[in-house]
């Protein structure tokens, strides 16, 4: 199936700003799904609120556009009732880690078979450029005109500590790697977290003088490095990208099924 067949073309051109990285995430995600030859009816995409969450409107799967930060809670419900379906939950950094922070860590802890894609643009774009939990110290935002004094989460460390069994990071510049990682994340049985550094040229880029969308992507090339590379040892400031964790662990729905079997035994 061509990626066009996965789109709801009637809603195009989409509402994201020119150069917004979210479109590239949509593009690479659809290619990952195409490579896996998944049927449209076997995928459920659940999203919350924000620019990133609008992604669910553009794909011709089963889609749920839910409330802010709670996409994982809705997805958990769908997965528990229909474990045979593939659940994909794209979220923004604020949606996943501020408003939905608790849902995120507990979904990871349970190891429920859901693919969470965190589209990290370091800002609340839709509402006008307020700082998010990933904006970072010293950065500018509409609500931090004298620089932000909040420190950022390290999404990967957080996901690992919370118990996710697949954790990866990539960027919109590394589109081939993104496609490959999302493909592996969907195939992984358990809670998968993929953090994608994605540019918001309109708010984060403009406030922090990071230039055009292409220049922001160019910057991802310069500030990231493959996990454990020589460059990373020489310069610990660089952000590592790649797959950090990929391990087999009991999956929540499978474990729940066993509990039901135990409970009905002999009845």
22 is a site residue for other proteins (CB under 8 A): yes
Ranges within 118-147 binding other proteins (CB under 8 A): none
Q: Which long-range contacts (CB under 8 A, 24 or more apart) does 252-256 make?
A: 252/80, 252/110, 252/111, 252/112, 252/113, 253/79, 253/80, 253/83, 253/112, 253/113, 254/83, 256/80
Binding residues with other proteins: total (CB under 8 A)? 31
User: Which of residues 22 and 79 has its CB atom nearest to other proteins in the complex?
Assistant: 22
SS3 (DSSP) at 224 = strand
Among 41, 157, 187, 212, binds other proteins (CB under 8 A): 212
172 is a site residue for other proteins (CB under 8 A): yes
214 is a site residue for other proteins (CB under 8 A): yes
Q: Which residue has the tokens 């979210």?
A: 22
Q: Residue 127 CB, nearest distance to other proteins (Å)?
A: 21
User: Which of residues 120 and 172 has its CB atom nearest to other proteins in the complex?
Assistant: 172
Q: Which long-range contacts (CB under 8 A, 24 or more apart) does 257-260 make?
A: 257/83
Tokens of 99: 């408003």
Residues in touch with other proteins (CB under 8 A): 3, 7, 12-14, 16-24, 26-28, 30-31, 172-173, 175-176, 179, 201, 212-215, 217-218
């Amino acid at each position: 199936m061509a990626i066009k067949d996965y789109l709801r073309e009637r809603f195009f051109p989409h509402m994201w700003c020119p150069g917004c990285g979210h479109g590239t995430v949509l593009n690479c995600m659809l290619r990952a799904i195409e490579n896996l030859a998944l049927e449209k009816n076997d995928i459920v995409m659940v999203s919350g609120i924000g620019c990133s969450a609008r992604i669910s409107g553009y794909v011709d799967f089963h889609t749920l556009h839910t409330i802010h930060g709670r996409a994982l809670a809705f997805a958990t419900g769908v997965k528990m009732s229909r474990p045979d379906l593939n659940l994909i939950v794209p979220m923004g950094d604020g949606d996943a880690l501020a408003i939905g922070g608790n849902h995120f860590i507990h979904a990871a802890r349970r190891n429920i078979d859901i693919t969470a894609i965190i589209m990290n643009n370091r800002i609340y774009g839709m509402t006008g450029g307020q700082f998010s939990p990933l904006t970072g110290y010293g950065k500018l935002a509409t609500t931090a005109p004298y620089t932000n004094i909040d420190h950022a989460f390290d999404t990967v460390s957080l996901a690992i500590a919370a118990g996710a069994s697949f954790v990866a990071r990539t960027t919109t510049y590394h589109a081939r790697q993104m496609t490959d990682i999302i493909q592996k994340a969907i195939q992984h049985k358990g809670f998968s977290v993929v953090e994608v550094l994605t540019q918001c040229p309109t708010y984060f880029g403009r406030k922090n003088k990071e230039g055009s969308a292409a220049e922001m992507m160019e910057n991802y090339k310069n500030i990231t490095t493959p996990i454990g590379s020589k460059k990373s040892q020489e310069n610990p400031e660089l952000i590592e990208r790649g797959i950090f964790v990929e391990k087999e662990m009991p999956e929540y729905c499978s474990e729940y099924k066993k509990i039901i079997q135990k409970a009905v035994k002999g009845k």
